[in-house]
Amino acid sequence: MNLIIQPAAREDLLRQYRYYLIEQETEGIADRFLAAAQETIQQIALHPGIGSPKIFNHPALAGLRSASLRRFPAIRAYYLFSGNTIRVLRVLHGKRDVASILESGPDDD
In the chain the domains, ranked by start, together with CATH numbers, are 2-104 (3.30.2310.20)
Strand partners, 77: 67, 91
Top pLDDT among 107 and 5 is at 5
**DSSP strand pairing (72-82 vs 85-93):** antiparallel
Residue 20, pLDDT > 60, answer: yes
The answer to whether 89 touches 9, Cβ cutoff 8 Å, is: yes
- Type of residue found at 107: D
Average pLDDT over residues 34-54: 96
pLDDT of residue 106 exceeding 70, the answer is no
Distances from the Cα of 65 to the Cα of 68, 82, 91, 106, angstroms? 10, 11, 12, 13
pLDDT at 107: 53
Q: Is pLDDT larger for residue 14 or for residue 27?
A: 14
| Lowest-confidence pick of 4-13, 19-28, 64-73, 95-104 | 19-28
SS3 call for 99: helix
Residues 44-62: what's their mean pLDDT?
Answer: 92
Residue 32 pLDDT exceeds 60: yes
Mean pLDDT value of segment 21-47: 91
> Among positive and negative, which fits the CA dihedral 59, 60, 61, 63?
positive
